[in-house]
Amino acid sequence: MKKICFIASECVPFIKTGGLADVVGSLPKYFDKEKFDVRVIIPCYTCIPEKFRSEMKDHSHFYMYYNGRDCYVGIREMEYDGIHYYFIDNEDYFSGAKPYTDMYYDLEKFGFFAKASLAILPVVDFRPDVIHCHDWQAGLVPVHLKDGFAANPFFQGIKTVTTIHNLKFQGVWDIKTIQRFSGLSDYYFTSDKLEHYNNGNMLKGGLVYSDVITTVSETYAQEIQTPFYGENLDGLMRARNNNLVGIVNGIDYEVYDPAADTMIAKTYSAETFRKDKVKNKTALQKELGLEANPKAMMIGVVSRLTDQKGFDLIQAVMEEICAENIQLVVLGTGEAKYEDMFRYYAAKYPEKVAAIIKYNDAMSHKIYAGCDAFLMPSLFEPCGLSQLMSLRYGTVPIVRETGGLKDTVQAFDEVAKTGTGFSFANYNAHEMLDTIRYAVKIYYDNKREWNKIAERAMKTDYSWKASAKKYEDLYETL
């Protein structure tokens, strides 16, 4: 049996700030249990809900030399949904109301986490064949494995995989600081290793020393080899091109299932959505105070409100969007200018625009189920999960052709009668607006065709099953 260890800074259901947590929490459940023993290591944050913390058992503790002193490393563990989790406990580093604070402190904290994650393995008697690291927070794991842990026979021969969920975040600080807390010698701080534009870069360490690098869609794996998307690491990505693999994320089809979703007004399937999906729309209109009209086309947005997600495009043509015969429902938080913009338009057009400026899981399900279309005009999108959820709910995506959006949404072709959504290529507000108008036209003038697009969307399979198989094959080749 192959043993796999996931190391990450967040994981559903314990702690989540973004899509990384969904991947780390969902993917392990989909591996073949006969062939793979997959376990997960995350920090034991004090902000993990008490219902989980109270179920954790204390395994043991020890002291580890880190950043010039002996640091406490507690190990807590629990089994959840058939997966074994280890939580690294140290209240100096992992207390507080949220998992990330200021960058300087986070670097030291996750430097500790990376080293402690390796140090606990002999203590819990789990020797993985493959350690699968996620993002910069686990970036120093492959480096330590080749450095301080290399002499210990327990660690010899362990392979490493690093997954880039979003290349924008790299764990960068001055070399002196990273060198001080990591305890790594000068040897590691050269331009072919952790040094990057005169700074230290923790993610780069993971990318240089991992056996394989994966990222969360095939298109994104290509894009990050170019200067525009490469975040100054495109040269390294091109150099490691032979060990770079794109595997598209999935979503948990048990959590996102319109036929069994307890958070929505009326469940439906690919067979019944033509008559039942609209009941979710009317319920949502009522709840949000929009004009109660089952025939009105409703477009949804569930997102962080940031430039990366394309909100500057929406801002540029928001007045024109509101002039269309549509309703717009927005859920999310982010940059103040975008939060304020949506509040302004919701006040100006209360019958047409609803802005829910917070994160609310139940409301996101209602939007996926109640809307007719889903807008996602990202500047870049490593994978994206919202479009996968909207496909699952028969809510037709309108996306920009980048990263995972390009890989998962097939543009509607009126002649061939194919496609699961609408897409545009250039990062341009009017190109986006034209695509929205085209979707609106099809919705009102050719409802039968629209329903077929929605039906094809619901029949695509972006569960974790297919992706897990690709990871299994990858582990086997290692």
| Domains defined for the chain, CATH in brackets | 2-250+465-477 (3.40.50.2000), 273-461 (3.40.50.2000)
Residues 6+ apart with CB under 8 A from 331: 300, 301, 302, 303, 356, 358, 359, 360, 363, 364, 367
Q: Report which of 329, 347, 318 is spatially closest to residue 281, judged by C-alpha positions.
A: 329
- CA dist 80 and 60 (Å) reads 19
The pLDDT tens digits of the residues spanning 308-323 come to 999 999 999 999 999 9
Percent of the chain with pLDDT over 70: 100
pLDDT on residue 266: 98
pLDDT digits (tens, 9 = 90+) for 225-264: 999 999 999 999 999 999 999 999 999 898 999 999 999 9
> For a pLDDT cut of 90, what percent of the chain falls above it?
97
Q: Rounded to a whole number, what is the largest CA-CA distance in the chain? A: 70
Positive/negative CA dihedral, 125, 128, 132, 137: positive
Q: Of 19-23, 38-42, 270-274, which gets the smallest average pLDDT?
A: 19-23
- Length of the chain, in residues: 478
Q: Closest Cα to residue 139, out of 182, 211, 184, 203?
A: 203
With cut-offs at 50, 70 and 90, classify the pLDDT of residue 19. confident
Dist CA 300 CA 283 (whole Å) = 14
| Separation between Cα atoms, residue 72 and residue 92, nearest integer Å | 9
pLDDT score, position 61:
98
* Residue pLDDT, tens place only, 413-461: 999 999 999 999 999 999 999 999 999 999 999 999 999 999 999 999 9
- Mean pLDDT of all residues in 37-53: 98
Query: What pLDDT is attached to residue 191?
Result: 97
Amino acid at 86: Y
**Rounded Cα distance, 322 and 71, in Å:** 56
> What does the pLDDT read at residue 267?
98
pLDDT digits (tens, 9 = 90+) for 88-133: 999 999 999 999 999 999 999 999 999 999 999 999 999 999 999 9
Tens digit of each residue's pLDDT (9 = 90 or more) over 120-170: 999 999 999 999 999 999 999 999 999 999 999 999 999 999 999 999 999
CA dihedral 209, 214, 218, 224 (to 10 degrees): -40
| pLDDT for residue 466 | 87
Sheet holding 244-246, edge to edge: 57-66, 69-80, 83-89, 36-43, 2-7, 130-134, 159-164, 212-215, 244-246
Core vs surface per residue 420-443: b (16+ CB within 10 A) or e? bbbbbeebebeebbebbeebbebb
d(CA 138, CA 203) in angstroms, rounded, equals: 8
pLDDT mean over 403-410: 98
**Taking the alpha carbons of 36, 118, 56, 28 in that order, is the dihedral positive or negative?**
negative
Residue of 403 and 359 predicted with greater confidence: 403
Average pLDDT over residues 4-27: 94
* pLDDT confidence tier of residue 303, bands split at 50, 70 and 90: very high
Give residue 359's pLDDT band: very low, low, confident or very high (50, 70, 90).
confident
Burial of 122-139, coded b for 16+ CB within 10 Å and e otherwise, reads: eeeeeebbbbbbbbbbbb
**Residue 152 tokens, joined:** 């210990």
Q: Which residues pair with 161 in a beta bridge?
A: 132, 212
> What digits encode the pLDDT tens for the residues 192-209?
999 999 999 999 999 999
What is the CB neighbour count within 10 angstroms for residue 462?
23
For residue 206, the model assigns a pLDDT of 98
Partnered with residue 214 across adjacent β-strands are 163, 245
Q: What pLDDT does 18 receive?
A: 82
